[in-house]
Amino acid sequence: REFEFRLREALPRQEFEIHYQPIVDLGTYRPCTVEALVRWRHPELGLIPPDKFIPVAEETGLIIPLGEWILDAACHTGATWPDHVRLAVNLSAIQFRSGNLVDAVRGALARSGLPAARLELEITESVLLQKDHGTLAVLHELAGLGVHIVLDDFGTGYSSLSYLQLFPFSKIKIDKSFVADLSSRTDCAAIVSTVTNLAKALDMGTTAEGVETWEQVTLLRAVGCREAQGWLFGRPVPAVALCFEAAPFR
Ligand code: G
Ligand code: G
Ligand code: MN
Ligand code: NA
């Protein structure tokens, strides 16, 4: 396919770019982490979002070199941020099967100088679908480097509470579908509250995704959720547009 061919060419043509979205500490209203989100600057079609090309990159194996480029580029940028700001990078299940994910992460940290403790690796439940020893061994090796492992999009897809027992995640990201109707639906509030309490009992933190209103922030703080990400605080933007200094007055 034409699309697939162009996608293969995109890496050598330097058409990928990374945008960054802040994750805000709900105690201080300052960014504690910034998530790297890849985009493809297509010469004719413009900026293409990841859900349009990551699945194709996964099918074709391009996700391996692309994933390594993302780790390198994001770590170099993250290394320039203030010490208290962490970088979050998304990993694909395919990268776990490549055999060199641990080396790629170790290499990106070494080349960029980003301390391991300032890197969060976000994985979805699809990584844990293969409950084999290989995947878990890689997760433990990554954690052994000193990076944080975060469970993304929790509550969607094949999610199961048993995944929380498989690995000691640093944080759980509560999917934006539960946050969207937080102020209008008591069932969503119950789910967010319960997941936050469960996470706390397991010594994990929670991040609420897709936060768009202050009403949601008030409810999240009330149930003890400490971190929020969403358009209320900032859309994904190029690295140069990030601002770490100006905390909103509330
Ligand atoms: O940014 P939105 O920005 O449209 O991102 C949509 C989804 O695309 C994210 O939830 C994430 O699962 C995936 N994604 C974004 N950036 C990356 C990346 O660098 N690597 C992988 N594997 N997935 C990504
Ligand atoms: O990794 P992942 O699935 O979590 O990436 C987050 C996705 O959610 C990205 O596509 C991002 O652009 C999107 N997103 C981030 N903040 C908001 C928000 O406040 N509202 C909505 N609807 N989407 C958001
Ligand atoms: Mn994510
Ligand atoms: Na998500």
Nearest ligand, CA 58: 1
Ligand 4 mean position, distance from CA 236 (Å): 13
Question: Which of the four pLDDT bands, split at 50, 70 and 90, describes residue 67?
Answer: very high
Give the domain range for residue 78.
2-239
Residue 230 CA: which ligand is closest? 2
Q: Write the single-letter amino acid at 234.
A: G
**Does residue 246 fall inside a structural domain?**
no
Closest residue by Cα to atom 21, ligand 2, is 210
Number of other CB atoms surrounding residue 85 within 10 Å: 18
Helix (H) or strand (E) holding 116: none
The strand pair at 119-123 and 46-48 is best described as unpaired
**∠ CA 51-52-58 to the nearest 5 degrees?**
75
Determine the pLDDT at residue 158: 73
Ligand having the closest approach to the CA of 54: 1
Q: Is the pLDDT of residue 1 over 80?
A: no
φ/ψ of 151, rounded to 5, equals -95, 115
Domain assignment of residue 52, yes or no: yes
Q: Which atom of ligand 1 is closest in space to residue 92's alpha carbon?
A: 22
Within 10 angstroms of residue 56's Cβ, the number of other Cβ atoms is 15
Where does the pLDDT of residue 147 fall: very low under 50, low under 70, confident under 90, or very high at 90 and above?
very high
Structure tokens that stand for 176 in this block: 């934006």
Is the C-beta atom of 152 inside 6 A of ligand 2? yes
Quick check: is 210 in a domain?
yes
Atom of ligand 1 nearest to the CA of 18: 19
- Compute the average pLDDT of residues 148-155: 95
ipTM, 2 dp: 0.96
pLDDT on residue 149: 98
Q: Is there a contact between 101 and 142 (Cβ–Cβ < 8 Å)?
A: yes
Residue 248 counted as domain residue: no
User: Which atom of ligand 1 has the smallest separation from the CA of 49?
Assistant: 4
Using CA atoms, how far apart are residues 192 and 175, in angstroms rounded to an integer?
Answer: 9
CATH of the domain at 60: 3.20.20.450
What is the number of domains present in the chain?
1
pTM higher than the cut 0.90? yes
* 209 pLDDT above the threshold of 90: yes
Query: 109 in a domain, yes or no?
Result: yes
pLDDT of residue 237: 97
Q: Which stretches of the chain are DSSP H helices?
A: 2-10, 50-60, 63-78, 93-97, 101-112, 125-129, 133-145, 163-166, 176-180, 186-201, 214-222
Answer yes or no: is pLDDT of 220 > 80. Answer: yes
Mutating to test ligand 1, I would choose from 51, 69, 95 the residue with most ligand atoms within 8 A of its C-beta, which is: 51
CB of 47 closer than 6 angstroms to any ligand 2 atom = no
